[in-house]
A and B are shown apart, each in its own frame.
Chain A
Amino acid sequence: MEEIKIGVYVCWCGTNIAKMVDVDQVVDQIKFLPDVAVARNYKYMCSDPGQDMIIRDIKQHHLNRVVVAACSPRIHELTFRKALAKAGLNPMMFQMANIREQVAWVHTDREKATKKAVSLVHAAINRVKWHESLDKRTIEVNPATLVIGGGVAGMSAALEIANAGKQVYLVEKSKKLGGYAAQLDLTFPHFYSARQLIKPMIRHVEDHKNIRIFKPMQINQIFGYMGNFQSTLQLANGDETKLKFGNIIVATGLQPFDPSEITSYNYGKLPDVVTSLEFEKMLAKGRIETCEGKEPKNVAIIHCVGSRNANYHEYCSRTCCMTALKFANQIRSALPESNIFDLYADMRSFGKGCEELYTQTSRKNVIFLRFDQQNGLPEIRSTNGEEAVSMLIEFTEQFSKEQVEVPADLVILMVAMESHADAKDISHIAGISMCGNSFFIEKHPKLDPVATTSDGVFIVGTCQAPKDIPDSISQAKAAAARVLATIHVGTIEVDVITATVNEDICCGCQTCVSVCPYKAISFNKEKGVSEVNEILCKGCGTCGSTCPTGAIRSRHFTDQQILSQIQGLLSPDNKFEKM
């Protein structure tokens, strides 16, 4: 076997790392470790000069392994792998030690931080010795696309792709396309009729020759991987249809928060306390009325119902403030003599036309009252017919600090946007992660808010985060562009981190077969061993730690690699006691 020569590079990241980690000391401590041929530190390893330094060293010193101690591998692992490839080395002969996010930025004792950094670098050096060359493989992309969800986001994405001449399969769970946007009356801030906007869109989708719609239809399973997914749909007539597609756009949308959770609002108990969605329907019907069919004299609108509150959802649902103002305008024009009370926690009117809407509304004799989310929500109680008004809302107004009660005949609760309940199933089916609040997690919150960590799966609309219609459409079209780009290229590279079975050792116990969530492992009866489909395999490594014989290797995360990493990490020199 060729002699191992490792190049170790410690990054300062400007002052980000250098401030808390003594980079010189790190280099001094690891440069004498066995197999380390070169050890340097540099201001910005990820910069062009930094990468050039690695490339130069690889060529000059005939390095065959590289360790970079810098930021999180989630940020720059790919950058350095590319640098290795540029220098003619297999990109997998690389290991990163995360001494920024997991050392410099989180610790305050420079000496200990340095020591920890040394141990992480030591572990990386130990690990990289066991790295193997792995080669990228490319596969062809199926030009069809599956869109899950027929709301405004899903339809926009479908139309964009279909207009480019590519096949789209649009799966909608309900009987109708249009989603929640189709249930709205007017939209903010310009009061366009939602129905007039959505209806032509639905017709366009339904008539499109490149779009095949399945509704009502639920998707139960998706097999495959980016470029080559497939799913079987159960049609209403009992038939099955097998779809093959290369990309998935998930647009499962939202569901309104159920305000009966918030006891102080008495939703469900007081008949004239309605949700914003119920009020939209009332507006669409054309008459604002109480449960008794009377015109309300006093209408109160309560913001942030289920939003921006640690007990329900901490996030802001983004659209409710403006919808509330839209309601105030609609009530004012329908009932000019009514009293309108707007109970808000903060008025969030960002973006084009929204502050203008607020100003415009504030001139329409709407009484704006601010409540505090933290110290007790408003309480709605009935007057039990003892007064002319049917309900009173009690709370402490935040600007005046006065304990006040607001008379109300109709209360509208601006309910939060939640990720749809079905999103959970879809997350398993399509392999998307969810964050704590059940919205899908995007690949990168800033740089890639459309893709997911599963290649070939994109998220659009309110399944990713609360959004209004234009934002949903923007994201949908962005996802469509991404999909069309992969279709245009025609092939994609697949990950090399997969599991592999050593047939000489595998005894055919088949424990691994049912462990694999992607059905990538099958039992070859002829040979009496398990086999891994390396395209289906996503490299989680669960089978590797399940195999009782050690026949399954999780590439790039082998037992040997991790065990030597542990040994490096715990090298006696790197303990705090030695300080």
Chain B
Amino acid sequence: MSQRINPELKKELLKFGAKDWNDCYHCGNCTATCQLTEREILFPRKAIRQAQMGLTESLASNADPWLCYYCGDCSDTCPRDANPGEIMMTLRRYLTSVYDWTGFSGMLYKSAKAHIVVMLVLFLSVVAAFLIFGGPMITELTSDGGVRLNTFAPAEIIAGIDHIVLLTLSFFLLTNMINMYYKVVLKDKTVHIPWYLYFTEIGEALLNFGTQLRFSKCNKSRMYWFGHWFLMIGYVTMFVLIIFFLSWFQTDNINVWYHPQRLIGYIITAGFLFGTIFFMIGRIRKKKQIFKHSHHSDWIFVVLLFLVAFSGILIHIFRINGLPFATYYTYVAHLAFEIPMVVTFVAFSKWSHLAYRPLAIYFSNMKKKTRELQLKSKLSVSY
């Protein structure tokens, strides 16, 4: 079956941040430079070609962009300055919107305005919710001089709300993941994956989820990989703490500084601050390849994350120093920053790659193995 070329795809992709990719004339240098290219996985070139040609269907079933960690080698060495790394980045944004059946993702990515409006609405909703449902603002301090935050915002209630948000977002993320499975695996008629591969190949995907070992294969310094990993682990830990252990994490009494609650909090927050400042400076200076091109979603993401971390620190400082009103207002602000970030990014934007990357590794490995098996059986027949 022939695939109809869709000349509109290109215009669509431009909105996701792409630039002139017709500069690429397929010399193959990017594929040659890339450390992650394998026999069956010829990125970035293959995906770039599909994008160039307007092959909407082929692109939707191509998981390759998720296997790229944007080290920037290809863009650095591209003889035509076609910026393949950034094209892969754009395609990740595009694919996120392709997997998202609600269309919300596409809206956020394609329009900075929409994204900001959505966030503003959420921000104001959180503030309004506190105005309406917020507990009394007690000025009385605890015995050890801390602010009684749990009276203003009881951890159980906040955790309850967190759970609701989590469930909702999980629903969307999960359905998007199923959609990805449908597009990448089921629609690809060239491979029929044997059932046992689903079990044998899951290990590597999980390992990569935890360690991002693939990223370490990229040609950049270890520091880079570590920074990314640290940020990811920090975020996941914080996510788990806030969702499942908020009562333990959000206490009124002040623990000693070496208490695990405070230590973990410090380490993660420091990481967040360091990471977000590092990214912001990078994006401003545009020296490194990966920082050269910033989409609005990139900016919103780092700024919000910075604000969340920064406001979290402020809450902590105000609370242990017994400044009740400052603590309450900052807390409201903290949640008003966090909720929009979680809602827009987890299932519909940048953070969803946390799920898509390991899935892509999983699907790609299964496909690769299946193809090898097919090739073997073909050879055994002919001999």
Contacts and interface: CB of A to CB of B under 8 A. Distances in A.
A and B touch in the complex (CB under 8 A): yes
Interface of A: 298, 339, 341, 347, 358-359, 362-370, 392, 394, 397, 399-400, 402-407
Given A359-B23, A362-B23, A405 B58 contact: no
A403 B2 contact: yes
A405 B22 contact: no
B58 A402 contact: yes
Given A362-B23, A362-B25, A363-B22, A400 B58 contact: yes
B285 interface: no
Given A402-B55, A404-B53, A367 B3 contact: no
B10 interface: yes
Interface string B104-139: 000000000000000000000000000000000000
B2 A365 contact: no
B146 interface: no
Contacts of B49: 399-400
A218 to B, nearest CB: 47
B1 interface: yes
A366 B22 contact: yes
Contacts of A406: 5
A229 to B, nearest CB: 51
Given A365-B10, A367-B52, A402 B26 contact: no
B350 interface: no
Contacts of B5: 341, 367, 369, 404-407
Interface in B175-211: none
Q: Which 7 A-B pairs have the closest CB atoms?
A: A339-B7, A362-B22, A405-B2, A400-B49, A403-B2, A399-B49, A363-B20
Contacts of A369: 5, 53
B23 A367 contact: no
Given A298-B7, A400-B49, A405-B2, A365 B58 contact: no
A421 B50 CA distance: 44
Nearest to A403: B2
A403 B22 contact: no
A403 B50 contact: no
A392 B5 CA distance: 10
B270 to A, nearest CB: 45
B54 interface: yes
B132 to A, nearest CB: 51
A338 to B, nearest CB: 9
Interface string B29-61: 000000000000000011001101111001000
A407 B58 contact: no
B265 to A, nearest CB: 50
A339 B49 CA distance: 17
Chain B interface size, as a band, is 20 to 34
A247 to B, nearest CB: 46
B4 interface: yes
A359 B24 CA distance: 9
Contacts of A402: 3, 50, 53, 55, 58
A404 B23 contact: no
Contact of A404 (B4, B25, B45): B4
Nearest to A362: B22
B23 A400 contact: no
10 contacts: A359-B80, A367-B22, A367-B52, A370-B26, A400-B50, A400-B53, A404-B3, A404-B5, A404-B53, A407-B4
A364 B10 CA distance: 12
A307 B53 CA distance: 25
B22 A368 contact: yes
B43 to A, nearest CB: 13
Given A362-B23, A400-B58, 9 more contacts: A358-B25, A369-B5, A399-B49, A400-B55, A402-B50, A404-B55, A405-B3, A405-B4, A407-B4
Nearest to A398: B26
A358 B80 CA distance: 12
Contacts of A363: 20, 22-23
Contacts of B58: 400, 402
A397 B52 CA distance: 12
Contacts of B4: 392, 404-405, 407
Nearest to A300: B5
B7 A400 contact: no
Contacts of B54: 367
A400 B46 CA distance: 7
Contacts of A370: 26
A404 B2 contact: yes
Contacts of B25: 347, 358, 362, 368
A363 B23 CA distance: 6
A365 B55 contact: no
Contacts of B3: 402-405
Nearest to A361: B22
Nearest to A396: B2
Interface string B1-23: 11111010010000000001011
A46 to B, nearest CB: 44
A271 to B, nearest CB: 23
Contact of A397 (B22, B45, B53): B53
Given A339-B7, A362-B22, A400-B58, A367 B53 contact: yes
Contacts of B26: 370, 399
Nearest to B1: A403
B53 A365 contact: no
Nearest to B80: A359
A407 B5 CA distance: 7
A339 B25 CA distance: 19
Interface in B75-109: 80
